[in-house]
Amino acid sequence: MNLQKKEFWKGFATAMALAVVLALGAHYVYLLPIQLPSFLFGDATKMRFLEHYLKEYYVEDYDESVTEELMYTGLLAGVGDPYTYYLPKDALQAQMEKNSGHFVGVGVTVFHGEEGYLHVESVTKDGPAQQAGILPEDQIIRVDGTDIATLPYEEAVSLIKGKEGTKVVLSIFRPSTGEALDCSMQRRDIQVTSVQWEMLEGNSGYIAIHNFRENTYEQFQKALQELQKQGMRSLILDLRNNPGGLVKSAHQIGDELLSEGVMVYTMDKQGNRNELTCDAVYTDVPLAVLVNENSASASEILAGAIQDQGRGTLIGTNTFGKGLVQRMFVLPDGSGVNITIQKYYTPKGRSIHGTGITPDLPMAMPKEYEQDMEIPREHDIQLQKAQELLK
């Protein structure tokens, strides 16, 4: 028997001996200083070892489902890309609901207060909650009689949601008046508003896009048509504080504003190029675009295309600098992984990842308004500059 065969059978015998010890009881495994060949000790085997040690020796009780989920989380986090991550089933459903631009509920945006109650941040116009009398800054303390102070945030929110057409009673405390109220309402499909618009002085249309969801293009179309009916002669597009969203929606909106040509192109790891183009039909009015350091991803795609094409003037501060495209993969168990699959480039071949887009007219807001999401018109010098430019 040659040396290679001897070494193989020696390793095989060692592995079998270790398997016997594991079968008899793991109390003595740590006494065996054995190193198995890599072909016998793969990743799956290593994971089984770790799980076994935890179950046998960890002194406290723990939730095995949590350790399993975090294992997947760690695998995706290991690539070092904040945009590549694992999503448990519930989180994936919430993400897909967010991207859709609508959900079944009562029309409130809430956050978790220190005392455990849900604080109302905003109320959807004409939604069930507004019609029932709920106001921003109200505190939701019970849902259908269930005290939510000790419930996790996700569980408390899930009590408010439900099937369309069903009723729910929110018991609220109103700090401004000290009132305690029970508000009954009927759940319904709520359309999230991501576009706001109005006509400004001098027949200059103003459209603010807060993010790009499935229903954003439909809302943008409506805004553009209404402004055109009112005699719009120029347009201000506000992309400030827009974190991005669906590239598809940004492309649809770009097709309404840009002339014929490439709007953006992407490159994958194999070097394959994919182009998104616009046709020759577009709204041909003078255009100004407002951006800031919170304008990211899909909003940078739209702003970069407008700048490269010379279609409009960018005003504000340097954008965020996210030049990556992600794709969501849904796994058979309902969980998912969001993976960066491409880098995108402006029509002139600029990669803005990590650098952002520099406006044509750099202009910072006054310091007291730098962090404000809603700036009083009389102090919005970027908007005022856009109006002055378009006159």
Catalytic site residues? 297, 308, 322
Furthest CA-CA distance within the chain: 95
**β pairing state of 179-186 and 273-278:** unpaired
Per the CB < 8 A criterion, the answer to whether 142 and 171 are in contact is: yes
Per the CB < 8 A criterion, the answer to whether 193 and 185 are in contact is: no
**β pairing state of 179-186 and 167-174:** antiparallel
- Give the residue among 226, 216, 205 at the shortest CA–CA distance from 254: 216
The rounded distance, in Å, linking the Cα atoms of 135 and 179 is 12
Structure token digits, residue 342 = 């491409």
Q: Distance between the two ends of the chain, CA-based, in angstroms?
A: 93
Tokens 């009112």 correspond to what residue? Answer: 230
- Give the residue among 260, 246, 264 at the shortest CA–CA distance from 209: 246
Using the 8-state DSSP alphabet, how is residue 174 labeled? E
Tokens 């459209």 correspond to what residue? Answer: 207
Q: List helix spans (H) across 241-371.
A: 247-257, 298-309
- Give the residue among 323, 193, 312 at the shortest CA–CA distance from 254: 312
